[in-house]
Amino acid sequence: MSADDINNFRQIITSNGYRLTRAREATFRLLVSSEPQSVAKILAKAKGTVDRVSVYRNLELFEKLGIVHRVYIGWKHKIELSDDFVKHHHHLSCLGCGKIIDIEDESHIDEFIEHVAARADFAPRRHIFEVDGYCHDCKPTKTTR
């Protein structure tokens, strides 16, 4: 989380006619970790600083303004900083240890989406793509012992 990110955040909030508040900025700072976080975790971090309700309301606002977006990992959704803050991408998530590996290569998916969308005369806007499985350390196939 750079100073630039904070300025960028302030810019988005104010330029859209919303007020720059303590609760708002505190909530934004909780999203630092580049890894996607569950709402529960964010609420836990916010405890004592920002009220639950305000966290919910601001996450909703952030989503509307494109500051964050949801990703699905392990069949639960998590919140992740988006676009200007962290480039859109996908994940390999380990069912064993919970590790989350970023998938850098977006172009293949975009191509594929273009392909199927064209055939159905469909104009794509967003997509979800997440993979579950086992990481190097957790591969159950490995007969280490």
**Quick check: 64 and 70 in contact, CB under 8 A?**
no
Q: Is 18 in the site for DNA (CB under 7 A)?
A: yes
Q: What residues are paired with 93 via a beta bridge? A: 100, 132
24 vs 28 by CB, closer to Mn ion: 28
50 vs 68 by CB, closer to Mn ion: 68
Q: What residues are paired with 11 via a beta bridge? A: none
Give the C-alpha separation, 23 to 6, whole Å.
14
Q: What SS3 class is residue 109?
A: helix
Q: Choosing among a copy of itself, Zn ion, Mn ion, none, which partner's interface includes residue 42 (Cβ < 5 to 8 Å by kind)?
A: none
Q: Choosing among Zn ion, a copy of itself, Mn ion, none, which partner's interface includes residue 97 (Cβ < 5 to 8 Å by kind)?
A: Zn ion
Of the residues 6, 33, 87, 133, which one makes contact with a copy of itself according to CB under 8 A: 133
Q: What SS3 class is residue 107?
A: helix
Angle at 50 between CA 46 and CA 53, to 5 degrees: 100
Shortest separation between residue 88's beta carbon and Zn ion, angstroms? 24
Q: Measured over all CA atoms, what is the biggest interatomic distance in the chain, rounded to whole angstroms?
A: 61
Shortest separation between residue 122's beta carbon and Zn ion, angstroms? 9
Shortest separation between residue 140's beta carbon and Mn ion, angstroms? 24
Name 137's Cβ contacts closer than 8 Å, sequence gap at least 6. 94, 96, 97, 99
Of the residues 51, 60, 102, 110, which one makes contact with Mn ion according to CB under 5 A: 102
Q: Which residues bind Mn ion (CB under 5 A)?
A: 102
Q: Which residues bind DNA (CB under 7 A)?
A: 14, 18-24, 39-40, 43, 50-54, 56-58, 60
